Homo-oligomer: A and B are copies of this chain.
């Protein structure tokens, strides 16, 4: 009998994916739910909505509230917060590296290090050096991972994940999709998503 699992869709440019990435494994673990780490790109989905940048930039009052709310959220978790410049960051290289890594803990560890650098220290994740250090901090040999990230297979796999996310109805990140197709959007919904998965799983 398999443990229930959820797909955790995250985008490295997404602010609320930061606290979510830091706690999703623990929230799910307590409920006996496994987490599949699914990096994807919101850019192509936003572009279809006619947006050329983050809605947090398009609606300044919404953006101001988001940064303040994120400050409260991360403070309550004991996490540092520093806004990267520019915001949003181009997340393509980070997403390709994460896609190239096996989802056996290494992808999650690297992803958490990327968020820590980007939103904890305000560093640019468009800088390969920052991503190399994130890999090293996660215990992964950087050069091999970065070369692997450049392959056609990885590019295709990332495009496929983004297409799958769109097909599942995603419009923002983080989002969790359960095995029975239920979509939960936002760091605020992690607990509900995991409870849903635990309840829906066949016994």
A61 CB contact (under 8 Å) in B62, B65, B72, B169? B169
C-alpha gap A64/B168 in the complex (Å): 11
Give chain B residues whose Cβ lies under 8 Å from the Cβ of A61.
Answer: 169-171
**Interface readout for A168-200 with B: 1 if CB under 8 Å, 0 if not?**
011110000000000111001100100000000
A86 CB, min distance to chain B CBs, angstroms:
21
Verify A65–B188 contact, CB threshold 8 A.
no
Q: Report which residue of A65, A169, A192 has the largest number of chain B beta carbons within 10 angstroms of its beta carbon.
A: A65
Verify A172–B62 contact, CB threshold 8 A.
yes
C-alpha gap A65/B168 in the complex (Å): 11
A69 at the interface (CB under 8 A from B): yes
Interface residue range, chain A: 20 to 34
In the complex, chain A residues 24-67 whose Cβ is within 8 Å of any chain B Cβ: 49, 58-59, 61-62, 64-65
C-alpha gap A68/B181 in the complex (Å): 12
A65 CB contact (under 8 Å) in B62, B64, B171, B192? B171
Verify B171–A59 contact, CB threshold 8 A.
yes
* 12 extra interface residue pairs, beta carbon distance < 8 Å, beyond A61-B171, A65-B183, A65-B185: A61-B169, A61-B170, A62-B171, A62-B172, A64-B169, A65-B169, A65-B171, A68-B183, A69-B184, A69-B185, A69-B189, A72-B192
Residues of A within 8 A of B (CB): 49, 58-59, 61-62, 64-65, 68-69, 72, 169-172, 183-185, 188-189, 192
Can you list 5 contacts pairing A with B, beta carbon distance less than 8 Å? A49-B59, A64-B169, A68-B183, A69-B189, A72-B192
